[in-house]
C-alpha cells in the first residue's frame, strides 16, 4: 500500500492530503524513460571503446603487427643505407682513386627521384605519409645499389686492365743474372766498334756465352722474328700500352711472328749475328716509339744494391759491342 503524504496548510491551520494528478505521473514516467535511454546510450558509447568484437580485435592486432613490421623494415633500410654509404666512401676514396677513375658524385647516385607527383598514387590512405616515406627510401636505396654495382663492375674491369698492364710492361732482365758475364755497355753515347764513330747506343749490351737463353721481359705479341743486316737474328715484341722491346744478335730464334708470349718465356739464344763484335744480347726498350733507358725496367729482378751497381757500370764510358 502506497504511503499517503500530507502538507500543512497555513490558511486552515491543518494538515491536508497531497493529491497526485495523473498528468504529473505521466510526466515523471516520461522523464525517467528518457533518463534511462540517455544513460543507456552513453553507456553503449563508453563500453564500445573498451569492449570490441572479435573482428575488431583481429583488425587491431593486424594493424599493430603492420606498424611493428614497418618499424623493423625502416630500421633495416636505415642500416643498409649506412653500410652502402661506407661502401660508397671506400669506392670513391680508395678503389676509384687507386685505379685513377673519377669519383661518382652524390647527384649521380641519387638522381631520378625529383618531382612532386612521383608518389601521388599513394595518397588517400590512412597512413599515406608512412607508406610514401618507406617507398621513397626503398627506391633511393635500390638506385644507389644499382649505381654501386655498376661502379664495382667498372673497378673489376680496371683491375683486370691494370693487371694486364703490369704484366705487359717490361720488368725483368732478358738474360738471367747468373747466366750473363757482365753489362758491356749502357744507354749512352759510345764508340761504335765497327764504324769507329761516337754514336748513341739505344740499349744495353749483356755479354754471355753463345746459346745462353733469352727471355721475354713482359707479356706481348711477337711483332717481328727475322734476320737483319744490323741486328742479325732479332725479335721485336709489342707489349701494348706503348711499349716495345728488341732482342738482337741471337744465335737462334725460338719463337715466330704473331706468337703471344708471357714474361719469362724463352724467345731465343745469345749469339754473335749481324753487326756484332762478340757474343752478347743487345736489348732495347721503346715507349711510344722512343727508345728509353732499359735499366729502369729491371725492378722485377734487381735488388737496390744490384741496381746501383749495374747503373754505375752502364754509365761508364767505353765501346759498345754493336
Task: Select from 240, 244, 223 the least CA-distant residue to 290.
Answer: 244
The per-residue pLDDT for 103 is 82
Cα 151-157-161 angle, rounded to 5 deg: 140
Distance CA 185, CA 322 (A): 10
Q: What is the pLDDT along the chain (322 residues), one digit of tens a residue?
A: 556 666 666 666 666 666 666 666 667 777 777 777 777 766 666 656 555 666 766 666 766 766 777 777 778 778 877 877 787 887 777 777 767 778 887 777 776 655 556 666 666 666 667 777 777 778 778 888 888 888 888 888 887 888 888 899 999 999 998 877 777 677 776 665 555 656 677 888 898 999 999 999 999 999 999 999 989 999 999 999 899 999 999 999 999 999 999 999 999 999 999 988 889 999 999 999 999 988 888 887 877 788 787 777 777 655 555 5
Distance CA 176, CA 212 (A): 9
For residue 219, give the DSSP letter: S
The per-residue pLDDT for 282 is 93
- Is the distance from CB of 140 to CB of 167 less than 8 angstroms? no
The per-residue pLDDT for 187 is 74
How many angstroms separate the Cα of 270 from the Cα of each of 56, 215, 262, 266? 96, 10, 19, 11
Cell of 256: 715466330
**CATH C-level class of 182-314:** mainly beta
What 147-150 contacts at long range (C-beta under 8 Å, 24+ apart), as own/partner pairs, is: 147/104, 147/108, 147/109, 148/84, 148/87, 148/88, 148/91, 148/109
Neighbours of 297 (CB within 10 A): 23
The per-residue pLDDT for 260 is 96
The per-residue pLDDT for 243 is 94
Query: Radius of gyration over alpha carbons of the chain, in Å?
Result: 49
pTM, 2 dp: 0.59
Q: Given the DSSP bridges, would you call strands 182-185 and 204-207 parallel, antiparallel or unpaired?
A: antiparallel
Amino acid at each position: 500500500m502506497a504511503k499517503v503524504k500530507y502538507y500543512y496548510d497555513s490558511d486552515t491551520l491543518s494538515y491536508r492530503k497531497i493529491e497526485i494528478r495523473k498528468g504529473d505521473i505521466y510526466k515523471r514516467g516520461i522523464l525517467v524513460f528518457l533518463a534511462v535511454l540517455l544513460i543507456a546510450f552513453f553507456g553503449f558509447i563508453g563500453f564500445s571503446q573498451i569492449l570490441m568484437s572479435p573482428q575488431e580485435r583481429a583488425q587491431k592486432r593486424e594493424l599493430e603487427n603492420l606498424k611493428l613490421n614497418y618499424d623493423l623494415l625502416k630500421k633495416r633500410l636505415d642500416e643498409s643505407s649506412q653500410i652502402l654509404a661506407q661502401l660508397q666512401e671506400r669506392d670513391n676514396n680508395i678503389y676509384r682513386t687507386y685505379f685513377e677513375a673519377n669519383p661518382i658524385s652524390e647527384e649521380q647516385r641519387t638522381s631520378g627521384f625529383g618531382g612532386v607527383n612521383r608518389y601521388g598514387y599513394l595518397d588517400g590512405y590512412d597512413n599515406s605519409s608512412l607508406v610514401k616515406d618507406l617507398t621513397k627510401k626503398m627506391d633511393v636505396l635500390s638506385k644507389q645499389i644499382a649505381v654501386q654495382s655498376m661502379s664495382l663492375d667498372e673497378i673489376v674491369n680496371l683491375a683486370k686492365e691494370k693487371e694486364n698492364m703490369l704484366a705487359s710492361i717490361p720488368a725483368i732482365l732478358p738474360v738471367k743474372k747468373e747466366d750473363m758475364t757482365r753489362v758491356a755497355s749502357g744507354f749512352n753515347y759510345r764508340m761504335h766498334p765497327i764504324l769507329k764513330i761516337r754514336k748513341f747506343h739505344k740499349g744495353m749490351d749483356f755479354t754471355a756465352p753463345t746459346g745462353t737463353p733469352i727471355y721475354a721481359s713482359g707479356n706481348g705479341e711477337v711483332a717481328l722474328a727475322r734476320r737483319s743486316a744490323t741486328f742479325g737474328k732479332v725479335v721485336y715484341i709489342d707489349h701494348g700500352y706503348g711499349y716495345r722491346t728488341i732482342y738482337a744478335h741471337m744465335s737462334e730464334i725460338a719463337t715466330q711472328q704473331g706468337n703471344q708470349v708471357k714474361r719469362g718465356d724463352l724467345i731465343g739464344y745469345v749469339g754473335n749475328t749481324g753487326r756484332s763484335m762478340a757474343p752478347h744480347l743487345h736489348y732495347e726498350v721503346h715507349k711510344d716509339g722512343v727508345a728509353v733507358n732499359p735499366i729502369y725496367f729491371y725492378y722485377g729482378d734487381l735488388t737496390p744494391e744490384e741496381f746501383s751497381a749495374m747503373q754505375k757500370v752502364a754509365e761508364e764510358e767505353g765501346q759498345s759491342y754493336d
